[in-house]
Amino acid sequence: MGKQTLEFEKPIIELEQKIDEMRKLSDQLDIADEIAKLESRVNELRTNVYSNLSRWQRVQLARHPERPYSLDYIGLMTTDFMELHGDRYFGDDHAVVGGLAKLGEETVMVIGQQKGRDTKSNIYRNFGMPNPEGYRKALRLMKLAEKFGKPVVTLLDTPGAYPGIEAEERGQAEAIARNLFEMAQLRVPIVVAIIGEGASGGALGLGVGDRILMLENAWYSVIAPESCSSILWRSWDYKEQAAEALKLTAEDLLRQKIVDRIIPEPLGGAHKDPNFAAQALKKALLEEITSLSKVKPDKLVDNRIAKFGAMGSYSGK
Amino acid sequence: MSWFKRSTKNIISSEKKDLPEGSWVKCEKCGEMLHKSQLEDNMWTCNKCDYHFRIGSKEYIEILIDRKTFKETDKSLRSNDPLKFVDTKSYKVRLAEVEKKTGLTDAIRTGTGEINGHKVVLGCMDFQFIGGSMGSVVGEKVARAVDRAVKLKLPLILISQSGGARMMEAAISLMQLAKTSARLTRLHKAGLPFISILTDPTTGGVTASFAMLGDFNIAEPGALIAFAGPRVVKQAVGKDLPEGFQKSEFLLDKGFVDMIVHRKELKGKMTQLLGLLES
Ligand SMILES: [Zn+2]
């Protein structure tokens, strides 16, 4: 059990604590039956709570402070990870990590947005909010992958691109736009996985690919529910409604044909068993890479442009 | 996350800056009283301070395209409201209201036309339509404009004015950034020019996609051009922003636009550029 409890998890935690207390008493008292009863109740409750999560509750799980981040997945899924640094123009952005690694038998270029876990590492990682040089580093690594014929895997997990003065000066918009343009025509397979928060253009800047995977409790949209609430409802209090309206869960996005495949998480979220989530993701990545590797580069690029070209919903000719 | 915020505040207060009613208009910048006919002759710029009033696709087409050569395309495309989005009002109602008010079917008009005899494919956004936000229709019309330019072997000009991606189509709007940018690779591959004209304001998802991808990025003077709007940046950094931050002149200085062109010189510059490329 983690230290951090979300509001909707409290009934479960309370029951778990009760069971723990009863166990301590069970030397003196014969209460094994009662404990068993409570255990089946807590299991039922868990299944019930986690299979009926509201969209806002999923957003909270996606932001859970113990949720695995890009480097955790890289550590659990790959071997021989060799991190590469810098965009060669300005600097090295710590909110984006990337490098070569072995995924199964396959050498891949893996690139991800990286959050920190405590105050110090969050400052170092800029809370997972990339600056332009983060996107440019990612592009440099993707071009390397193209040169050496290696597939690209990107992991999306960001509350947004950093809205800072220097970020604007150095062309945050241009950096993201350039990545969309270049990723669309990269001549090696790209598999994208949204592992946590997929907030807007900041996430999409690493998000153009041949297959889009999404973890069960991740969210992906044009805006965070709180900001959406503040703009459309002109109040911060409508985040639950905003999350519902935005239809931002993995299931929603599969239905909208934006995501191709949902990666299952352990009951209660990826942080309950990071290795379970990582192995499920690894399996899916390898399957997708294997099937994409058979496609010729020209066809791969054509299909990718057509894939995004099909997104949208309009009527008229 | 937050970059969207400021830009959509623009959406809400868009009425304020739209072309004013009545025959006398006060300049937003210097306060000069200008007669509407004089303003129109001056291409909706202030003759005293050069302030560029915000105008729509109808005016830009008049300014840029030779008379009677503009043929609008894909006019009937309308959003399907794929998410049945409702906030304080339903998106469906919003769309119907703004169409009734503006006579526009979405935030961009596209077509073909001539600029002093040079044939081009043109797209021009309208801020009046839900803050010039990009959803399915803008994405599809830009994509089709690219296809048309490739097919007809013509240069593409896109005039941007936008608060960003349209919230009411959520992730589908976000994907329009990828859709339009991806499609532009085909124009690039065909060796055809893409001229991006950035007007006030061009922010958020439109800046972070096609507007910044021009072979030539050309801005109107004093236009706000940004990823995150100034209010969001100010909130994030907690300090005052530098003078002229995120204005056209700032972007020229930082290397993100090729030139700033006064609206009265826009057609001349386009003619010159197209001539240079064609000969
Ligand atoms: Zn003036």
Measured between CB atoms, which of A245, A312, A315 is closest to B176?
A312
- Nearest CA distance, B12 vs chain A (angstrom): 8
The pLDDT tens digits of the residues spanning B222-244 come to 999 999 999 999 999 999 999 99
Helical axes B170-189 vs A172-184, angle rounded to 10°: 70
Contact A223 B167 (CB under 8 A): yes
Among the CATH numbers 3.40.50.2000, 3.90.226.10, 3.30.565.10, 3.30.360.10, which is that of B55-78+106-278?
3.90.226.10
- Nearest CA distance, B157 vs chain A (angstrom): 17
Could you give the residue range(s) of every CATH 3.90.226.10 domain in chain B?
A: 55-78+106-278
Query: Residue B100's closest CA among B124, B72, B78, B73?
Result: B78
What is the Cα–Cα distance from A113 to A205, expressed in whole angstroms? 10
What is the Cα–Cα distance from A177 to B226, expressed in whole angstroms? 12
Q: Is the pLDDT score of A288 beyond 50?
A: yes
Are A157 and A197 in contact, with CB atoms under 8 Å apart?
Answer: yes
Which residue would you say has higher pLDDT here, B138 or B13? B138
Q: Is the pLDDT score of B4 beyond 90?
A: no
Helical axes A297-309 vs A172-184, angle rounded to 10°: 120
What is the Cα–Cα distance from A177 to B255, expressed in whole angstroms? 15
How crowded is the C-beta side of B145, counted as CA atoms within 13 Å?
35
What is the Cα–Cα distance from B120 to B247, expressed in whole angstroms? 28
Q: Is the pLDDT score of A25 beyond 90?
A: no
Helix (H, G, I), strand (E, B) or coil at B188: helix
Q: What is the ipTM of this complex?
A: 0.96
A-facing residues of B in 145-164 (CB < 8 A) are none
Count of CB atoms situated within 10 Å of the CB of A36: 11
pLDDT band at B19 (very low <50, low <70, confident <90, very high): low
Instruction: Return the residue of A nearest to B169 by Cα.
Output: A246
The pLDDT tens digits of the residues spanning B43-83 come to 999 999 999 999 999 999 999 999 999 999 999 999 999 99
3-state secondary structure chain A: CCCCCCHHHHHHHHHHHHHHHHHHHCCCCCCHHHHHHHHHHHHHHHHHHHHCCCHHHHHHHHCCCCCCCHHHHHHHHEEEEEECCCCCCCCCCCCEEEEEEEECCEEEEEEEECCCCCHHHHHHCHHHCCCHHHHHHHHHHHHHHHHCCCCEEEEEEECCCCCCHHHHHCCHHHHHHHHHHHHHCCCCCEEEEEEEEEEHHHHHCCCCCCEEEEECCCEEECCCHHHHHHHHHCCHHHHHHHHHHHCCEHHHHHHCCCCCEEECCCCCCHHHCHHHHHHHHHHHHHHHHHHHCCCCHHHHHHHHHHHHHCCCCEECC
DSSP state of B245: T
Measured between CB atoms, which of A170, A305, A314 is closest to B77?
A314
pLDDT band at A317 (very low <50, low <70, confident <90, very high): confident
DSSP state of B252: H
Are B33 and B26 in contact, with CB atoms under 8 Å apart?
Answer: yes
Are B220 and B260 in contact, with CB atoms under 8 Å apart?
Answer: yes
DSSP state of B55: -
Q: Which residue has 């593409």 as its token pair?
A: B156
> What's residue B3's pLDDT?
34
Query: Residue B176's closest CA among B160, B165, B188?
Result: B165
pTM over 0.90: yes
What is the Cα–Cα distance from B139 to B210, expressed in whole angstroms? 10
Percent pLDDT > 90 in chain B is: 91
What is the Cα–Cα distance from A181 to A139, expressed in whole angstroms? 10
Q: Is the dihedral angle over the CA atoms B19, B89, A199, B124 positive or is it negative?
A: negative
> What's residue A238's pLDDT?
97
pLDDT band at B140 (very low <50, low <70, confident <90, very high): very high
For residue A13, give both structure tokens. 């935690």
User: Which residues, other chains included, contact A143 with Cβ-Cβ below 8 Å and sequence gap of 6+?
Assistant: A182, A186
Contact A309 B175 (CB under 8 A): no
According to DSSP, the β-strands at B259-260 and B216-219 are parallel
The pLDDT tens digits of the residues spanning A173-188 come to 999 999 999 999 999 9
Count of CB atoms situated within 10 Å of the CB of A52: 9
> What's residue B20's pLDDT?
65
Are A70 and A155 in contact, with CB atoms under 8 Å apart?
Answer: yes
User: How confident is the model over A212-236, as a mean pLDDT?
Assistant: 96
CA of B26 to the centre of ligand 1 (A): 8
Measured CA distances, A144 to A110, A191, A300 (Å) = 12, 16, 18
For residue B268, give both structure tokens. 């001349």
A-facing residues of B in 99-128 (CB < 8 A) are none
CA of B19 to the centre of ligand 1 (A): 14
The pLDDT tens digits of the residues spanning A57-67 come to 999 999 999 99
Q: Flag the least confident range among A139-143, A313-317, B121-125, B192-196.
A: A313-317
Interface test with B, best of A146, A200, A303 (most B CBs within 10 A): A200
The pLDDT tens digits of the residues spanning A115-169 come to 999 999 999 999 999 999 999 999 999 999 999 999 999 999 999 999 999 999 9
> What's residue B13's pLDDT?
42
Contact A168 B246 (CB under 8 A): yes
Measured between CB atoms, which of A162, A184, A201 is closest to B182?
A184
Contact B178 A316 (CB under 8 A): no
> What's residue B18's pLDDT?
62
Residue B59 — φ and ψ, nearest 5°?
Answer: -70, -45
Q: Is the minimum CB–CB distance between B73 and chain A shorter than 8 Å?
A: no
Q: Which residue has 């990723």 as its token pair?
A: A183
According to DSSP, the β-strands at A96-103 and A106-113 are antiparallel
CB pairs under 8 A between A and B: 228
Q: Is the pLDDT score of B12 beyond 80?
A: no
